[in-house]
Structure 1
Amino acid sequence: MGRNLKNAILAILSPLPSITFYLTFLHYNNNNYSSSLWIWCSHNPFLLANLLFFININLFFWIIGLLQSCHWIIDLYWTVIPVMLSHYYATHPFSKPNLWRSNVVILLTWVWSIRLTHSYFRRENWQWGGREDWRFNEMRIQYGKHWWWLSFFVVYVSQQVFLMGICLPMYAVNSIDTLWNSWDSIATLVCLFGIVVVYFADTQLHEFTSKNKILKESGVDTIPNLDSGLWQYSRHPNNFGEQLWWWGLVNFGWNVGHGWTFIGSFVNSMCLAYVTVLVEQRILKQAFRTKSYRMYQKSTSVWVPWFKSFRQEDSKYKNF
Structure 2
Amino acid sequence: MGSNLKNFVVALLVPLPSIVFYLSFLKHFEHIANAGGGADESFISSIWAWCFHHPLLLANVLFFFNVNVLFWVIGHLQNSHWMIDLYWTVIPVMLVHYYATHPLAQYNLWRSKIVILLTWVWAMRLNHNYLRREKWHWGAREDWRFTDMRAQYGRHWWWISFFAVYVAQQVFLIGVCLPLHVVHSVDKPLNVWDFVAILVAISGITVAYFADTQLHDFVTRNEKMKELGKPVVLILDEALWRYSRHPNYFGELLWWWGLVIFAWNLGQGWTFVGSLINTMCLAYVTGLVEQRMLKQSHRAEAYRLYQKTTSVWVPWFKASDGLGKEKTT
Where in structure 2 are the equivalents of 1:96-245 lying within 5 Å? Answer: 96-245=106-255
Q: Supply the distance in 1 between the matched residues of 2:71 and 2:160 (Cα, whole angstroms).
A: 14
Q: 1:221 to 1:92 in 2, by over 3 A?
A: same
Residue 216 of structure 1 deviates from its aligned partner by: 1.1
Query: What are the superposed Cα offsets for residues 44-92 of structure 1, whole Å, 9 maximum, x if unpaired?
Result: 0000000000000110000000000000000000000000000000000
What letter is aligned with 1:3? S
Residue aligned with 2:32, SS:
coil
Q: 1:317 to 1:184 in 2, by over 3 A?
A: closer
Residue 265 of structure 1 deviates from its aligned partner by: 0.1
Residue 218 of structure 1 deviates from its aligned partner by: 1.4
Contact 1:8 1:128 in 2 (8 A): yes
Q: Supply the distance in 2 between the matched residues of 1:92 and 1:293 (Cα, whole angstroms).
A: 49
Residue aligned with 1:149, SS:
helix
Residue 103 of structure 1 deviates from its aligned partner by: 1.2
Q: Supply the distance in 1 between the matched residues of 2:327 and 2:51 (Cα, whole angstroms).
A: 61
Aligned to 1:250: 260
What letter is aligned with 1:213? E
Query: What are the superposed Cα offsets for residues 69-119 of structure 1, whole Å, 9 maximum, x if unpaired?
Result: 000000000000000000000000110111111111110000000000000
Aligned to 1:29: 29
Contact 1:45 1:89 in 2 (8 A): yes
Residue 176 of structure 1 deviates from its aligned partner by: 1.0
Residue 311 of structure 1 deviates from its aligned partner by: 4.1
Aligned to 2:42: none
Residue aligned with 1:288, SS:
coil
Contact 1:89 1:171 in 2 (8 A): yes
Q: RMSD in angstroms over aligned alpha carbons?
A: 1.2
Aligned to 2:17: 17
Contact 1:292 1:317 in 2 (8 A): no
Residue 315 of structure 1 deviates from its aligned partner by: 5.2
Contact 1:283 1:289 in 2 (8 A): yes
Q: Supply the distance in 1 between the matched residues of 2:271 and 2:184 (Cα, whole angstroms).
A: 13
Is 1:72 the counterpart of 2:82 in the alignment? yes
Aligned to 1:261: 271
What letter is aligned with 1:75? D
Runs of 4+ aligned residues of structure 1 deviating over 3 Å after TM superposition are: 311-318
Q: 1:41 to 1:294 in 2, by over 3 A?
A: same
Is 1:2 the counterpart of 2:5 in the alignment? no
Contact 1:292 1:318 in 2 (8 A): no
Aligned to 2:41: none
Q: 1:74 to 1:163 in 2, by over 3 A?
A: same
Q: Supply the distance in 1 between the matched residues of 2:19 and 2:209 (Cα, whole angstroms).
A: 30
Q: Supply the distance in 1 between the matched residues of 2:283 and 2:322 (Cα, whole angstroms).
A: 29
What letter is aligned with 1:63? V
Q: Supply the distance in 2 between the matched residues of 1:250 and 1:60 (Cα, whole angstroms).
A: 30
What letter is aligned with 2:148? E
Where in structure 2 are the equivalents of 1:40-79 lying within 5 Å? Answer: 40-79=50-89
Q: Supply the distance in 1 between the matched residues of 2:21 and 2:167 (Cα, whole angstroms).
A: 21
Aligned to 1:292: 302
What letter is aligned with 1:102? S
Residue 205 of structure 1 deviates from its aligned partner by: 0.1
Q: Which runs of 5+ in 2 are unaligned?
A: 39-44
Q: Supply the distance in 1 between the matched residues of 2:328 and 2:313 (Cα, whole angstroms).
A: 20
Q: Which runs of 5+ in 1 are unaligned?
A: none
Where in structure 2 are the equivalents of 1:275-286 lying within 5 Å? Answer: 275-286=285-296
Over the matched positions of the two proteins, sequence identity in percent amounts to 63
Contact 2:319 2:326 in 1 (8 A): no
Residue aligned with 2:229, SS:
coil
What letter is aligned with 1:42? F
Residue 9 of structure 1 deviates from its aligned partner by: 0.4
What letter is aligned with 2:272? F
Residue 317 of structure 1 deviates from its aligned partner by: 6.6
Q: Supply the distance in 2 between the matched residues of 1:100 and 1:187 (Cα, whole angstroms).
A: 14
Residue 316 of structure 1 deviates from its aligned partner by: 9.3
Q: Supply the distance in 1 between the matched residues of 2:85 and 2:23 (Cα, whole angstroms).
A: 25
Q: Supply the distance in 1 between the matched residues of 2:149 and 2:214 (Cα, whole angstroms).
A: 29
Is 1:94 the counterpart of 2:104 in the alignment? yes
Q: Count matched residues.
A: 319
